[in-house]
Structures are given as structure tokens and as C-alpha cells.
Structure 1
Amino acid sequence: MGIGSSRLFSTLAQSLSSTPLEHTHVDVEDGDSDQADPDVLLRQCGEVLRNRPPRLHRAFIQTRTGSPHDSQIRVMQWNILAQALGEGKDGFVCCPAEALNWSERKYLILEEILTYRPDILCLQEVDHYYDTFLPVLSSLGYQGSFCPKPCSPCLDVRDNNGPDGCALFFSRRRFQLLGVSHLRLSAVLLKTNQVAVVATLRCRATGRAFCVAVTHLKARSGWEAFRGAQGSHLLQQLKAISRDGGEERTGGAEGMPLVVCGDFNAEPGEEVYQRFMASPLGLDSAYRRLSADGSTEPAYTSWKIRPSGESCSTLDYVWYSSSSISVDGVLKMPSEEQIGPNRLPSYHYPSDHLSLVCDLSFIQEPHRLM
């Protein structure tokens, strides 16, 4: 075991309840030269979780012909379930309390990330950013940025670990950070409790600059118009950020390519989904590539049982600029049998939302072919 992996394992194993939190983001630019070995850490996660059922096996579906290449970008989108909400507010009536214990659940989360090794990681409901995700992922070669919710419901839970929010991580080896914005989303003129992180990155292999965003929109039925307004505000901000960056870094007025990840808390028939599909930014949903005709979302990305009943919904999305980015492959959703009768979260999966993972590539621009 390398020194880095040993130190990282110790960080995960210790009690994580005493670290004071600041309500600001942290960007880590300089990596530790003694970087942890992800393969070693993945094996260590397996050792800790040896008494739990094995993780879900999910096939990767290739959606475009051709072999993988160095410039391919793997993106993971995941609402990981805030620890305070899972234990204190969400009421997963079929999930044993022991399955939600942070001392092991954090290894399930890390195991999922290490299994798929994303180049870009977009997370929602992160309430252990400073004491777990920042140090662990930084040691694995990621740079991160975190934006907490202004009035996080986690703060209403006794012995909470601070507010939850959105976190965006990217590989320092693969990308250079050109700029980052933290947004508090509005609904018309009303500032809301939902946030977004938007990072402008340059791909070191291709030199291409692009924007990646992560967000988490308002939950629950009855708030459809509210989510629609939040989505409109986010689209406006993305247009401005991508266009300003495009003018500055490419010398033209066209906007940079976009990748937008999030838990939208909205089914495909909702207003906010339609706004994204019809946006002049030219966005498409990566997981539509799984369907036979390329136009249908998965049957579910979240499946849970609460006191109010069972909920099986498609709420999570990876949007991309279809004119400049192609989808090479996507991670298939597990079957109902794999998920199990008690649904999510469970002993073998740490969140009520399934991770979305896709491989993206830049479409070659004509002037770059010359």
C-alpha cells in the first residue's frame, strides 16, 4: 500500500463529525505529489463493505461506433443523498437505519465513484464536502468547488454536518480551470434556495474550452412552474457564461460547448425539461441515447419508498451541446430485480438516486481538420 492510499484510507476510517465547516467553496489547484492509488482504495472499500451485498452490476452501452480514445471525457452525475436527510428527514421506511450509517455508507459512495473513474463528477446533496469529499477526491487528483444551499434542510436535523449543496470535481490532469461561477437560482424575481456551480474548463489534450454545470432544482409536486422558472434562469446564466467565455477564448461570438448535470426533480413531461429541450443553446439529454429511437428517457433514475408510498421517477439528466459534443456511451440503469423489493437506498446502494455516467467526445470542428 502506498503512503498516499494509506493516509487516504485513514482519513475515511476516522470519525468525521468534528470538522468545522465554512459556508464557502474551496478550489484545490495543486495536487499532492503523493497521489493515492485508486485501485488500492477501491479494494479497501471492498474490504470494509465485505459484509454487505455486492454493488449493482451495470453494463456500459456504446452509443457510437469507434474505439475509446484519449480525448474522451467521462462524466458522472449523481445525487448522493445528504447524510442528514437520509438519517433524519427523508423517511425511507424500507431501508434499515444501519444501512444509512455514515461509517460505511461513505465507502459505498466512494466505491461507486472509483468503479467508473469519471473525469468530471457532478454531485448534489453533498453535506460532507470538507471532511470527506474534498480531501479524498483531491488526493485522487481532482479539483473541486462547492456551493451550499442558503437555507439547507440539513440544518434542521440534529447533529448535522452543515448545509448540503452542489459540488463539481474534475481531473486536474485532464483539465485546466479557466473560471468558476456560483449561482443562486431565481424564479422570476424571487431568489430561491437552489444553487448551481458552473466551471469553464480547457481540455489539455485537445485545447477545447467548454462549460460544465451542476444544479439541483426544487423538489416535490406542485412546484412545476417554480422549477420551470429556475430552469429558465439557469439557461440565461449559461448562455451568458458560455458566450462571454467563447468570445474571450476563441475570438468569436459563438458560445462554448455545454455539459449540464443535475437532479431536476422533474419528469420528462415537465415544463423545465421542455425548456431545456427547446433552448436555443442546442441541448440534448445524453440518456435518450439508450432508447431505440434516441428520443426517450430511462424509465427511472430514482426509486424509493417513503411513508407516502412508492416513487419510481426519472429526475436526473446529463445535458450536452449536441452540435459540438457526441455521446459515445452511457451506463445502463439496473433492473428492478437488481434494485430489489425494498428499493433505494439499501445495503448495496447508498442513495435513492442512481448515478448517471456517460462518455462524451468533442465533434471535430472543420477548421481543426485543416
Structure 2
Amino acid sequence: MYPVRRCSSHLAALCLSSLGSAPTSAAELKHGLSLTSGPSVSRCGRASCTAPRPLKPSRSSPSLHVSQMGSSSVRFFTTLAQPMSSTPLEHTHPDAEGSDQEQVEPEALLRECEEVLRARPPRPHRDFVRTRASAAHNPQIRVMQWNILAQALGEGKDGFIRCPMEALNWAERKYLILEEILTYRPDIVCLQEVDHYYDTFQPMMSSLGYQSSFCPKPFSPCLDVRGNNGPDGCALFFSRERFRLLGVHHLRLSALALKTNQVAVAATLQCQVTGRALCVVVTHLKARSGWESFRGAQGANLLQQLETILSAQQEAAVPLMVCGDFNAEPGEEVYRRFLNSPLGLDSAYRALSADAVTEPSYTTWKIRPSGESRATLDYVWYSHHGFTADAVLSMPTEEQIGPDRLPSYHYPSDHLSLVCDFSFIQEPHRLM
């Protein structure tokens, strides 16, 4: 049994402070779906866990980083140290462009995560399957797709019978999630089942230099759980240094002419290095077997809405990335719809597989009262006319995952993160 510690020793001494929010009713939360405009060494002990993406040099030595992190880090960790609220969180405004929040250094936060999690076993070691390196004039874009498991569902509804409740304690599980993000340091992060957006992920990611947008489900199942932290939904984060926001849409998906409980966030970004525009989407389709046709209809509706968004762009042929938990195996209708879409999409993990047609054997592996479930449900789709897929992060082995499957003491979600590196395809007029 691993001990559950709420925070590391120096964090325990911090005074708790509120984030401040604009009070909004639960009804307003439910209807917030409007149109708006160098590798690091982690607890796996291997520097090769990440592709070479050098961190900025720390101004402090490892032995002194705690005392030299500064006021912004203190505020950040004060936020992380707060216990899970027993009442739904009030709505706050999205992270504004050009946030004046003080930044913290990712390598210092990664060391802090490792300190908090030192009693837990290390995360599975994963390597990148790489086809080509980055070019200085066209640096790769790293994208993370991850269903992080809503805290309310993990503790109250999902029934992971082989996962001890202590392993799901939010006081430590949030550090596991943060550690995964910090290890791979993506430029774009697409998350599903986010029910701690306002008190954890928005301030945390803003401190790391990300701008974000969050779209809650209209009728989130998290709200049925006693002591919940508000609705779960889809959240999209992107590096302010790398991208400029051109516009964002919050989409509610339809199926069979009916509005559904599933949503998507679609953001049009401009790369600050190349000047190129791209559209990034995060979504989460209906779960459970027996709903295959429903998911197919949701996928068709999402593709239709994305065609409308892309056709309104000022720049022609804006390439697309669609990340999500589709809750669908590759044989399902919704997968075929995306693969054969007129938008010209391909799956990154499929494209970089050994035969260029096979998805991973699994992206989720769990044990519930109904039995053991191993399935491929998560995908990163991309426009093959706009991007090349240069690398994908491999899946951990069965031995690494362990006999009790996911989630566990060493991995915070029942879904594995997908991490992909992309490059813009060079247009002829840009090469002259």
C-alpha cells in the first residue's frame, strides 16, 4: 500500500488561497456552448523518455530550486495543494490572450512532481517512433491527446475494481497528470473528461505558458456524483509562445437531428514561427457498446461543422487536427467516416505503424465489474495535405501496464496519452 500524501513538505506550509471567479449559475454553466471568437529525466529514470526538445536552462541549481522558484510558483503550488471541493465550482472566464500571469519553469515543476510522487512506482517508459527530425525553419508541432479520467467518475461511477481508491486520490493524481504533460511538453494539449479545469488545469497550464478554452458537457454525468467539482468537458491548451489564437468555436454535436451531450472545441491558430494557420479540434464521442450508429452520426455532424468553419477561413486550405476519445474501434462507422472524409484526414498512429494501416492494439485497458476491457478508442487525425506525421509515442507494454490494468498507482487514467509530432508540408510558393 502506497502512502497518500497531500503535498510535499514545503508545500504543506503554504497558505491556501482562492483563485477568484466570476459567479455564474449552474444553468449558465450548462449552456456555455456559444460561438466565441534535450530530454528530461522523469521518474522512469530514463532521459530517452522524450524526443530532444531542450528545456530553457534553469537559473537555479537542483539543490536550491525550491527556494528560488519565486512567488509565481508559490501561487501555482498553492492552487495544486487545495483539496477537492465538495461543491460544484463556479464558472470563470476563459484564459485570455496575452495573460499577465507570471510564468513558472517546467523543469522546476517536473522536479516538484517527482518529489510529491516519490512513494509511487514510476510511470511506464515510452519511446518515440520517429521518421524524421525537425527543421529549423519549420519546427515540429507536438500534440498530446488524452482522456485524463474525470475525478468524479473515477471515484464515483466508473467502478475500477482492481484500482485502490487511494490511487485515485486527487491530491496526488493531479501531479501524475501534470508529470505526464511536463515530461513530453507538447505545444498543443487536447484533454477530455476535465472536471477540474478552473481550479487546477487552467491556472496550472497558464503558468506554463498555455492559453486555453474549455467546453463543458451540457449534462455532465459528474454532476450526479456527490461532492463533484462541476461538469466535465473538453479542454484545449496551446503554447502562447508558439501560436496566436485567431478564433475558437464551442460545438455541441448532433445525432439523428437531436442535440446530444457531447461537445467539441475547435480553435484556429496561427503559428508564430511559420506564419501558417491550422485548426485544432478536441472532442469526446458517446461511450458504450450499442451506440455505434449514434457515434457515426455524431462524427458526421462534427465533420460537417468543421467543413463550415474551414470554409469561412480567410486563408485557403487551412489544415486540420482532430484529437479525441471517439469511444470507437477502428472497425466502426465513425472511424470509416473520418478516414474517408473529403477533408483528407489520416490517423497519425495508423500512418506511422509498421504497415501504415494498423492502429495500436489498445489505447485504454481497464477492469470493471463487467469484466476486462482492452480497446483502441483514441485518435489523432490530421490533414495529410497540410502536415506530415513525423513521430508518435509508443504504447506501454502489457507488463508495464501491470495485471491490475488502468488506472493505477503509476498511471492516473484508464486511457493512455497519445503524443504526435507534425510538420507543415512546405508549399511551393513558401520555398521560393
Q: TM-score, normalised by structure 1?
A: 0.95
Q: Does 1:292 align with 2:354?
A: yes
Aligned partner of 2:213 in structure 1 is 145
Measured against aligned partners, the alpha-carbon deviations of 1:286-327 in whole angstroms (never above 9, x if no partner) come to 011342111100000000000000000000000000011001
Measured against aligned partners, the alpha-carbon deviations of 1:164-188 in whole angstroms (never above 9, x if no partner) come to 0000000000000000000000003
1:124 CA drift (Å): 0.1
Change beyond 3 A, Cα 1:185–1:159: same
Aligned partner of 2:122 in structure 1 is 54
Is the Cα–Cα contact under 8 Å of residues 31 and 139 in structure 1 kept in the other structure?
no
Q: Which deviates further from its counterpart, 17-26 or 99-108?
A: 17-26
Is the Cα–Cα contact under 8 Å of residues 32 and 139 in structure 1 kept in the other structure?
no
Stretches of structure 2 lacking an aligned partner (at least 5 in a row): 1-67
- In the alignment, the residues of structure 1 paired with residue 258 and residue 91 of structure 2 have an alpha-carbon distance, to the nearest angstrom, of 22
Q: Aligned with 1:237: secondary structure?
A: helix
Paired residues in the alignment total: 363
Measured against aligned partners, the alpha-carbon deviations of 1:209-268 in whole angstroms (never above 9, x if no partner) come to 1100000000000000000000000000111111211xx2x2xxx431000000000000
Change beyond 3 A, Cα 1:224–1:20: closer
Aligned partner of 2:133 in structure 1 is 66
Is the Cα–Cα contact under 8 Å of residues 87 and 227 in structure 2 kept in the other structure?
no
- In the alignment, the residues of structure 1 paired with residue 162 and residue 416 of structure 2 have an alpha-carbon distance, to the nearest angstrom, of 17
Q: Does 1:217 align with 2:292?
A: no
Q: TM-score, normalised by structure 2?
A: 0.82
Pick one of 383, 386, 393 that aligns with 1:321.
383
The two structures, once aligned, show a CA RMSD in angstroms of 1.4
Q: Pick the structure with greater CA Rg.
A: 2
Amino acid at match of 1:26: P
After TM superposition, the structure 1 = structure 2 runs for residues 304-315 of structure 1, keeping only pairs within 5 Å, are 304-315=366-377
Aligned partner of 1:7 in structure 2 is 75
- In the alignment, the residues of structure 1 paired with residue 334 and residue 102 of structure 2 have an alpha-carbon distance, to the nearest angstrom, of 44
Pick one of 237, 240, 245 that aligns with 2:305.
237
1:72 CA drift (Å): 1.0
Q: Aligned with 2:312: secondary structure?
A: helix
- In the alignment, the residues of structure 1 paired with residue 355 and residue 295 of structure 2 have an alpha-carbon distance, to the nearest angstrom, of 28
Aligned partner of 2:264 in structure 1 is 196
Pick one of 160, 174, 178 that aligns with 1:92.
160
Aligned partner of 2:109 in structure 1 is 41
1:24 CA drift (Å): 6.9
Amino acid at match of 2:339: M
Stretches of structure 1 lacking an aligned partner (at least 5 in a row): none
Q: Aligned with 1:330: secondary structure?
A: strand
- In the alignment, the residues of structure 1 paired with residue 339 and residue 247 of structure 2 have an alpha-carbon distance, to the nearest angstrom, of 26
Pick one of 411, 417, 420 that aligns with 1:358.
420
Q: Aligned with 2:97: secondary structure?
A: coil
After TM superposition, the structure 1 = structure 2 runs for residues 126-165 of structure 1, keeping only pairs within 5 Å, are 126-165=194-233
